[in-house]
Amino acid sequence: MAIPNIILTGFMGTGKSSVGRLLAQRLQRPFLDTDALIVQRDGRSIATIFAEDGEATFRHWERTVARELAQQQGLVIATGGRLMLDEDNAELLAASGQVFCLTAAPQTILNRIKDDAERPLLNVPNPAERIALLLEMRREGYGHFPQINTEGKTAAQVADEIVLLVSFTG
């Protein structure tokens, strides 16, 4: 019997990696972070990939990783913030399991990631404004998936919430 993947999507700083690790431990499943996998395979940080080869190269990596992971089962997958906004990536991964979109308010996101220099999309004069703009632009894409608000919750609380939502039917 196939064991569906659990895929976490959402904007940067919403807790996908932290929640994903805890979720994988609780469910005794392998955990994979698509951004970490890309960094491992390419040998460069995401910021360096963007700076040296551009966003298109990074998005190509995302498509490659999405295709591979969609062929596997029983994984907990934390995706990069835009990976599931690509229609092909979303279709492939959603067919392999259940997708949950983690959410948080713009100021919460900024507070969580403000000390992380490895966020190329926020390397702008007003990151709070940029976060609000990007969230608005991505609202429809993220809206295709069940939403889990991470405001005021620990990663453990969010993981517990997802465990309760996961259905192992099929």
Supply the pLDDT for residue 118: 64
Are 93 and 69 in contact, with CB atoms under 8 Å apart?
yes
Q: In CATH, which of 3.40.50.300, 1.10.10.1100, 3.40.50.720, 2.40.30.170 is domain 5-160?
A: 3.40.50.300
Which residue's structure tokens are 């690509």? Answer: 86
Are 32 and 78 in contact, with CB atoms under 8 Å apart?
yes
Supply the pLDDT for residue 128: 84
Name the 3-class secondary structure at 49. Answer: helix
Residues above pLDDT 90, as percent of the chain: 75
Q: What values do phi and psi take at 69, rounded to 5?
A: -70, -30
The burial of 40, by beta-carbon neighbours within 10 Å (0-12 exposed, 13-18 middle, 19 or more buried), is given as exposed
pLDDT one-digit tens code per residue, 87-137: 999 999 999 999 999 999 998 998 888 776 566 566 778 888 889 999 999
Token duo for residue 6 = 């659990």
pLDDT one-digit tens code per residue, 52-80: 999 999 999 999 999 999 999 999 999 99
Compute the average pLDDT of residues 136-156: 95
The alpha helices in 16-114, defined as continuous H runs, are: 16-27, 34-42, 46-53, 55-70, 87-95, 106-113
Distance CA 42, CA 45 (A): 8
Name the 3-class secondary structure at 46. Answer: helix
The answer to whether residue 5 scores a pLDDT higher than 50 is yes
Sheet of 97-103: strands edge to edge? 31-33, 76-78, 5-10, 97-103, 147-149
* Mean predicted lDDT score pLDDT of the chain: 91
What's the predicted TM-score (pTM) here? 0.92
